[in-house]
Chain A
């Protein structure tokens, strides 16, 4: 047993080494956010922290505006997703038909279509409908691309609710909407909340449609950060400050939704 204990030490060291190396860029961004622009270019871990980069980001750019866009789009599309997905998942979980499984699979397969395949029609359609650079346009797109995940995850959580409870509600006089609102959703709330967090993360980080369909007015943080890539915009401390604010809350959400991530992104193929 001696060897296994020393082995466990070794695994621990290597494991932590890898973790630190992988996490280091994020750690570095976090530190640099609190440095002055001057200090940002030095690799030193010792520095006097300051909030001036954060101030600059808020003063010199419309950070709040972009952040609000990200928030509106993420929350709006997630809410819309669930409004459409929950009734469908209810029907599939409690009143499945012979076609239910294949319908589910088909829905999941819509997520396998590469975005470039429909970039141009969507761009042109949005252009003629005046939806370019609009928050609602992105909300619409994100609702569509996240709908399969919302339906799939809700479906799996609903399957764990005994149908007798919904029947009891029906006998008590609850129509379908009442059953869903008063009984089903409260019971499936933990799973639905984690799925909601997952969808918020996916919407927040989405960088294909947001870059191509927005420019200034409706641009979320993904686009705003990309603007730091132009030669004039190369300020590392500010980039770090802006990035830290954009990334930190999402990272925490991600830590909370590990399980949903696995199930949601592999469509249940791995549990």
Chain B
């Protein structure tokens, strides 16, 4: 099979202003290696450069500097049609004056393939996507989900080495989104082709990606598989971006206490002794500003493990959001708001006081200045 690996080296994209001077750098020199057959998700807040990167891979955006290799070949100056890629656009970008069949056949028609070849390729893709009954309809008569499948079909028919997705599900309602997510994942399992997927939704990223590349302001913050990103965020941004509800992040300092090091938050109300596994890393940070991170799911009424537990934190419930299987609690500890996730159907009322245990095995410390995790 053809090689669908993508190598990005020191990629930069700068936009010039009207006088031709560099005005805005959207992508600031990123390196990324995507293996053949991998499902790589580019995720980040809007403006982080993920779509720009995707468009540079596609060839729709020019490259200011750096190289992009597809299948081992540098494609900086190669037209999109010759890069072996196919793209699924956010708004589907279907040709409104053509039928579903013609939409999917367009690329093949331009490549001057025979009528029979075209018919075979299109009907095959249509069958795989459950579109064979819709081939003679026009896009405006289709639902959002159906249109998205046509966009997928158009991409599949090209038999590309790399599929590129530009936030394809953001225009669908929640239920359709879940359905299409599984559809795309299933497609990947069957085709085993490289897929590069851009989204701003971290849930989508976590459920679909083999690996996730978190971007922010034109730089890569971390690249790893979902679980690693969740368990071992390399910086404050990734820690707060991945996971819902987001990790509780508290500003404070490391202080020396009677029995070791402790974290004191800036209001002074939240004091937590640091677990022994972190003490040696936190030592150089005594007196310096750090950020303490604890995920909502790691606060519970009962102690979860022996190692590293301490006496429970007593907090007042400000707001409780019951979701059925779990309840999201917004708690107040002094002046600080903490979010906790409470598994179980116990009733929690605002005004109640609860005592929660913090699983110290799962807390993180970050350098307030650099944002990097303190683990070395």
Complex Cα distance A182/B79, Å? Answer: 19
Q: Render B55-96 as a binary contact track against A, CB cut-off 8 A, 1 for contact.
A: 000111000000000000000000111000111011101111
Q: Is the Cβ of A172 less than 8 Å from the Cβ of B158?
A: yes
Q: Render A180-224 as a binary contact track against B, CB cut-off 8 A, 1 for contact.
A: 001100110100000000000000000000000000000000000
Beyond A165-B95, A178-B110, A187-B97, whether A170 also contacts B90 by CB under 8 A is: no
Q: Is the Cβ of B60 less than 8 Å from the Cβ of A170?
A: yes
Q: Is the Cβ of A167 less than 8 Å from the Cβ of B89?
A: yes
- The residue in chain B whose Cβ has the minimal distance to the Cβ of A167 is B60
A262 within 8 A of B: no
- Residues of chain A within 8 A of B154, CB atoms compared: 168, 172
Q: Is the Cβ of A164 less than 8 Å from the Cβ of B97?
A: no
Complex Cα distance A187/B154, Å? Answer: 19
- Residues of chain B within 8 A of A167, CB atoms compared: 60, 87, 89, 93
Question: Which of A165, A172, A186 counts the most chain B CB atoms within 10 A?
Answer: A172
Give the secondary structure class of A's interface: helix
- The residue in chain B whose Cβ has the minimal distance to the Cβ of A99 is B18
B145 within 8 A of A: no
Complex Cα distance A172/B98, Å? Answer: 14
CB contacts under 8 Å to B, within A229-245, are: none
Q: Render A149-171 as a binary contact track against B, CB cut-off 8 A, 1 for contact.
A: 00000000000001011011111
The distance from the CB of A160 to the nearest CB of chain B, in whole angstroms, is 12
Give the secondary structure class of B's interface: loop
Chain B, interface size category, equals 20 to 34
- Residues of chain B within 8 A of A169, CB atoms compared: 95, 106
- The residue in chain A whose Cβ has the minimal distance to the Cβ of B20 is A98
The distance from the CB of B58 to the nearest CB of chain A, in whole angstroms, is 7
B240 within 8 A of A: no
Complex Cα distance A165/B280, Å? Answer: 57
Beyond A98-B18, A167-B60, A168-B87, whether A173 also contacts B93 by CB under 8 A is: no
A80 within 8 A of B: no
Q: Is the Cβ of A164 less than 8 Å from the Cβ of B95?
A: no
Give the number of residues in A that approach B within 8 Å (Cβ atoms).
Answer: 18
Beyond A178-B110, A182-B106, whether A173 also contacts B96 by CB under 8 A is: no
- Residues of chain A within 8 A of B97, CB atoms compared: 186-187, 189
- Residues of chain B within 8 A of A98, CB atoms compared: 18-19
- Residues of chain A within 8 A of B58, CB atoms compared: 171
- Residues of chain A within 8 A of B158, CB atoms compared: 172
- Residues of chain B within 8 A of A183, CB atoms compared: 95
Q: Is the Cβ of A168 less than 8 Å from the Cβ of B81?
A: no
- Residues of chain A within 8 A of B79, CB atoms compared: 170
A68 within 8 A of B: no
- Name A172's contact: one of B19, B60, B107 (CB within 8 Å): B107
Q: Is the Cβ of B89 less than 8 Å from the Cβ of A172?
A: no
A104 within 8 A of B: no
B111 within 8 A of A: yes
Q: Is the Cβ of B95 less than 8 Å from the Cβ of A173?
A: no
Beyond A182-B106, A187-B96, whether A173 also contacts B81 by CB under 8 A is: yes
Complex Cα distance A170/B154, Å? Answer: 13
The distance from the CB of A268 to the nearest CB of chain B, in whole angstroms, is 22
Complex Cα distance A167/B85, Å? Answer: 13
Q: Is the Cβ of B81 less than 8 Å from the Cβ of A164?
A: no
A174 within 8 A of B: yes
- Name A168's contact: one of B19, B59, B93 (CB within 8 Å): B93
Q: Is the Cβ of A164 less than 8 Å from the Cβ of B110?
A: no
Q: Is the Cβ of A162 less than 8 Å from the Cβ of B106?
A: no
- The residue in chain A whose Cβ has the minimal distance to the Cβ of B58 is A171
Beyond A98-B18, A186-B97, A187-B96, whether A173 also contacts B111 by CB under 8 A is: yes
Q: Is the Cβ of A171 less than 8 Å from the Cβ of B95?
A: no
The distance from the CB of B305 to the nearest CB of chain A, in whole angstroms, is 51
Complex Cα distance A239/B291, Å? Answer: 93
- Residues of chain B within 8 A of A162, CB atoms compared: 91, 93
Complex Cα distance A183/B97, Å? Answer: 8
- Name A164's contact: one of B18, B89, B106 (CB within 8 Å): B89
The distance from the CB of A251 to the nearest CB of chain B, in whole angstroms, is 31
User: Can you report 20 A-B residue pairs in the complex whose CB atoms are below 8 A from each other?
Assistant: A162-B91, A162-B93, A164-B91, A165-B94, A167-B60, A168-B94, A168-B154, A169-B106, A170-B79, A171-B58, A171-B87, A172-B81, A172-B106, A172-B154, A173-B81, A174-B81, A174-B110, A183-B95, A187-B95, A189-B97
By Cβ-Cβ distance, the 3 closest A-B pairs, closest first, are A98-B18, A172-B107, A173-B81
